[in-house]
Structure formats: structure tokens, C-alpha cells
Chains A and B, each alone.
Chain A
Amino acid sequence: MNRQRLSLWWFVGTLVFALLSMLVPLPGALEPFKPYWPALFLLYWSLESEDRVTLGLAFMVGLAADLLNGVVLGEQALRLIALVFIALRFRSRLRFFPMWQQALAVLALLLNDRILLLIVRVLAGASLPPASWWISPFVGAALWPFLFLLLDDLRARLRIQ
């Protein structure tokens, strides 16, 4: 029982951590390299514990992120729903990919996410972003193996699912 509660707190804690790291600024030169943390953490959890991650959860996390970021309400909710849906749909295959292949899949998901964001922003009347805006998905994909192994390792150490 206690272990279950611990694992729930761990799950919620990582998501809150992801939202916070989204807000933490980086020095100006590193700014375009910042990965989209909530997407990476949600991806990890949707691969590892699909019974917890549902579209509803993705929606709520997205709304919270929108609220914190001050963008149009529903923007990140839409992106995260699309991301989690694809991840859950191909979950069984993604899980057994070797790491490099998984990272490529994550890259595709994050690029798709950026394209969605671009569509939403352009429809809302914003101008096109600079080229450096496209770096972030590649950084996210490059970080994916490390994030995945780190989270897996921590989970094994804490002996929680």
C-alpha cells in the first residue's frame, strides 16, 4: 500500500518537475536548445506505465502547462494529446525497439509536435519562428536515452513500478 502511494507520488513528482523545468530559463545562447520536458516525461511514462497515462491525463498536464506558460488555453493540451495518443498506439512496438531506434521515434514525435505547434500559432496569427526554433526536438531526442535510463534506474532503486 505504502509502496503504491510512493510510486504515485513519484509519478506525479516527475510530471511536476517536468513542468517546472519547462519554466526554468537557460542562458540566452542555450535557449533554443531547451527540450520540451513535459513531452519527454509523458512519453517515458506512457511507455513504462500505460495504465496511468491516459489521454485525459495528457489533457490535464497540457492545461496546467498552458496556464503556467500563458499561451492560448488548450494549445499544449492539444500537442500532448496527439503525442500521447501516438505513443500509446505504438507502445508495444516502441518498447522493444533498441535505444537508437527509440530515440529516432522520439525525434519523429517531437518534430510532429513542433509542426502541430507551428500550425496552431500560425492560425492564431503569429509570425514564423526563426530557424533555431527547430533545434529543440533534436536535443530532446539526443537526451532521450539518458533520460530513459536515468528514470528507469531511479525506479529500480526505489523499487516502484
Chain B
Amino acid sequence: MARTRDESSPLFAGNAAGTLRLIVYLALAVVLMVLDHRNGWLWRVRYATAAVVEPVYRLAGLPAAGVRAVSVTFADRQRLTEQNQRLREDLLLANAKLNRMAAVAEQNQRLKELLDTQHSLNLNVQLARVIGVDLGAYRYELTLNMGARDGVRSGQPVIDARGVMGQVKEVLPTTSMVMLITDPSHAIPVVIERTGLRTVAYGSRDGAELSLPNIPQAADVRAGDKLLTSGLGGRFPPGFPVGEVRSVAPSASGMFLMAMARPSADLDRSEDVLLLHDQAEPDGPPAPVTPMGPPRDLAPAASASAAAPPAASGVRR
């Protein structure tokens, strides 16, 4: 191929038009980024183009699913038998524990009814599958195969068999993104099981651990302590395992103790996860009551029919 070498392909010097175009495009990209960062357009665009984006995710997830299928197909019998045996034992153990727990749960329920609280031990969950899509190693996210059409809402807690994994961050029609608890910009209120100390667990930079940077100096925290969700803040229901403390050291400022914890959930290995449907009851102040007038029987008899229309009685609880 003989190409005509003209001035559009100079050996050394660049042309001004190219630089100008570069500046225009760079400015365009920067403007887009700023607008998107401020307004969060991307998710609206993504939602609108979901018909294109989601098949691409499914397609990109195929190799991972294929590898999984192949590993099951070619796994030797020995290993499958062993695995099966182990799962059976686990099930037996879990069932035994459940049976013991059932009586306790019933008792708990009765006591709670006596105390007139609404907490229930039943879980309303939905099983979802992780789609193997890499959204950048530097972002701590999972993609699930359930979306708005399956009733997934943003903010729902996501758990696996061992503990809390994260919460739903964004929802597309048939897929959704989960923010993991190890995301540096994620925080989850926890309670230390042994002592009942309440604190907050943040994600960490390397994405494999949790950090608890503000534990009081005098607090009793040791490696091996289990962390449970405290239920404060109302996003995560109380009592789910979050992690296990690995190390405790004075923080850089010297004002607090800083603990590092390992998440209990298999963040990078879970294939099936559970979406919790019942949001925890918010522990904050109660929702404001819809404003009502004084009870009708207190109203002066003459103006009662004029002041309180009959429709208002439907509001009363």
C-alpha cells in the first residue's frame, strides 16, 4: 500500500487544528464529567440504554459462567463426593442448631409479644445470582441478575450465608449494582458481640478489610471479637455477622484505637446472595404524625359540621 504522504501526517511537527480539536474534546469530556458528578446523569442514561447495556453484561459474564460450568463438569468425582459429604454434614449441623433455635425463637416471639414490640425473626428474602462482570478492580461492586422488575430497590441489604455483603446501590431494569461493605466510601454501624460496644466499620483502601477507626481508648476490643450489625441507622437489620477483628492498634492521631476486621461474608467468592426485603425498622425518631385537629367531640357543637368534613375521619389512626 503506497500512501500519499501529505502534510496531514507530518514526521515531527504537529498541526494547530489537531491541538484545537484535542482541547475541544478534552473540554467536552471535562464538562461531561463535572455535570455527571453533580447531577448523576449517568444512571439515567444507563437506565434508558439498559436494553443495550444489560445484554453486554450478560455476554461479558459468559466466560466466568462458562469456567464455572466447566469446573463442575470436569471436577473429579472424588472432590464432588467430598463436597457433597461436607454439605450434608453442614446441613445436619445447621438443622440440629435450627431445631434448638426454634424453641428459643418461639420463646423470644412470645416474650416480644408480651413486650408489644414488632420485631420478627422471620426473613423476607430474595435469592439473586452474581453476574461475573468486572467494573474496575478499584471499585468495590457486584452486579446481580435481579433489577427493578424483580422488585429490587436501592438501599436493600445484601447478605450471603456468612454475613453482610453490602447494599444495593443502583438498580437497572433487570440487573442491579451492589456496593460492598469494603468500599472505602461505605460505612456500616456495628456492635461488638462480646462487649456490646457500638461503633462504625468503614471499608478500607485495599478492599479486603474493614477498618474501625474510632474506638475509645479505654474500650475492651481484642483480636477475634465478632462484629454484628447494630441496626442503628435503620438500613441494616440488627444481628447479622459483619466481620471479625484481626488487629487493634492506636490510631495515627493517638486519640482512638483503630481495629482492622475481616468481613465474614465471602465477598469475592459468593455466587448466590440474598436480598433482604424487609428494611429494618428505623431506630430514629418516629415518623411525623399527619397533623390532625383536636378530637371531634371536643369541638363546639355548632361549628363541628362546618369545621371537620367527614373525609377527615379517614386520616385518624
Contacts A28-B268, A55-B22, A130-B206 known; A70 to B36 CB distance under 8 Å? no
CB neighbours of A85 from chain B (8 A): 18, 22
Say yes or no: B134 contacts A73, CB within 8 Å.
no
* A1-48 contacts to B (CB < 8 Å): 19-20, 22-26, 28, 31-32, 34
Say yes or no: A32 contacts B137, CB within 8 Å.
yes
How far does the alpha carbon of A75 sit from the alpha carbon of B177 in the complex, in Å?
A: 19
Contact with A along B175-215 (1 / 0, CB 8 A): 00100000011000000000000000000011100000000
Most buried by A among B14, B18, B29, B138: B29
Contacts A130-B205, A161-B1 known; A70 to B29 CB distance under 8 Å? no
Q: How many A-B contacts if CB must be within 8 Å?
A: 124
Say yes or no: B36 contacts A24, CB within 8 Å.
no
* A40-88 contacts to B (CB < 8 Å): 50, 55-56, 58-59, 62, 66-75, 77-78, 81-82, 85, 88
Say yes or no: A133 contacts B138, CB within 8 Å.
yes
Most buried by A among B26, B30, B49, B141: B26
CB neighbours of B10 from chain A (8 A): 92
CB neighbours of B42 from chain A (8 A): 66-67, 70, 72-73
**Taking the complex as formed, is B73 at the interface, i.e. its CB lies under 8 A from any CB of chain A?**
no
**Taking the complex as formed, is B87 at the interface, i.e. its CB lies under 8 A from any CB of chain A?**
no
Say yes or no: A78 contacts B29, CB within 8 Å.
yes
Say yes or no: A127 contacts B205, CB within 8 Å.
yes
CB neighbours of B57 from chain A (8 A): 23, 68
Say yes or no: B18 contacts A22, CB within 8 Å.
no
In this complex, the interface size class of chain A, counting residues with CB under 8 Å from chain B, is: 35 or more
CB neighbours of A74 from chain B (8 A): 28-33, 36
**24 sample A-B contacts, Cβ–Cβ < 8 Å, listed by A number:** A24-B60, A25-B133, A55-B18, A55-B21, A55-B25, A59-B29, A67-B53, A68-B53, A70-B42, A70-B46, A71-B136, A72-B33, A73-B33, A73-B35, A74-B32, A74-B36, A78-B30, A92-B11, A124-B33, A129-B138, A129-B205, A130-B206, A130-B207, A133-B138
Q: A-side interface residues toward B, CB under 8 Å?
A: 19-20, 22-26, 28, 31-32, 34, 50, 55-56, 58-59, 62, 66-75, 77-78, 81-82, 85, 88-89, 91-93, 120-121, 124, 126-130, 133, 161
Q: B-side interface residues toward A, CB under 8 Å?
A: 1, 9-12, 14, 18, 21-22, 25-26, 28-33, 35-37, 41-42, 45-46, 49, 53, 56-57, 59-60, 63-64, 132-139, 141, 170, 177, 184-185, 205-207, 268
